[in-house]
Amino acid sequence: MRIAVLTFDGFNELDSFVAAGVLNRLRGQGWQAQITCPSAQVTSMNGVQVQAQQPLEFASQADVVLFGSGMQTRAIAQDLSILERLRLDPSRQLVGAQCSGVLLMAKLGLLGDLPACTDLSSKPWVIEAGVRVLDQPFYAKGNLASAGGCLSAPYLAAWVIAKLAGEGACAEALHYVAPVGEKQAFVERALAVIRPYL
C-alpha cells in the first residue's frame, strides 16, 4: 500500500507526522506512508526541516493521498505550478485532507458538492472556496475524507486503515499509539468517529 502524505512549506508537523506514523504501523503488511513534497526539502511552521521521501508526482501513483495543512496552504492553493503536478483519481485512490489541506482538495475539484471538516482558522477560506463546513472532527463519503483540528490526524489514518485493512488492523494500530491507561477508550472513541463513514 503506497501512501503519499502531502507536505508543503509551512506544514503542521502534527498532521504529516502523526498520520504517517500511525499508517506505518502496518509496514509489516507492506504499507508505506511517505512524506511527499513539491521540493527536495520543506520547512515546517516551527522551523523543522524535512527531506522529501517522494516528489509530488508520486501522489498520482499512490493508493492513498493525504493532504496535510500548514501556514502557506492558501498561497499553495493559488499556485498552479504546484496544483498541476497533482493528478488524483478518487475512483482508484483514497484521498483525504486535514485542516487547511481541505482547501487544496477543493481547489483541485475533488470535493464537488460534498461538505467537509476543517480547523477553525481555515474555515473561512474553505467556505470561500464553495465548501460547506461541518462542525465535527471527521467526515467521509466514498473514497474522500476530511478531518478538522490538529489532533484529528489519528481519525484520518484510522479511516484509511479500516477501509483498506479492516477494523481489526485499525484497532491494533491505534492501540499501539494510544496513551497508556487510556488505550481501550482511545481506540473505541476513534472507531466510533469513523465507523459511520466506512
CB 29 within 8 A of CB 166: no
The runs of H, that is alpha helices, within the chain are 13, 19-23, 73-76, 80-83, 101-107, 123-128, 153-165, 167-177, 183-194
State the Cα angle at 13 between 30 and 70, rounded to 5°: 115
**Cell 520543506 sits on residue:** 42
In Å, what is the CA distance from 107 to each residue of 119, 131, 179, 196?
17, 10, 36, 26
Give the pLDDT band of residue 64 (cuts 50, 70, 90): very high
Report percent pLDDT > 70 for the chain: 100
**From residue 168, how far is each of 102, 161, 188 by CA, in Å?**
28, 9, 12
Nearest to 156 by CA among 1, 7, 12, 15: 15
Structure confidence at residue 158 as a pLDDT band (50, 70, 90): very high
Contact 82, 33 (CB under 8 A): no
Q: Quick one: pLDDT band at residue 32, thresholds 50, 70, 90?
A: very high
- For residues 163-170, give the mean pLDDT: 98
Model-level pTM greater than 0.85? yes
State which fold the 2-197 domain adopts.
Rossmann fold (3.40.50)
The predicted pLDDT at position 110 comes to: 98
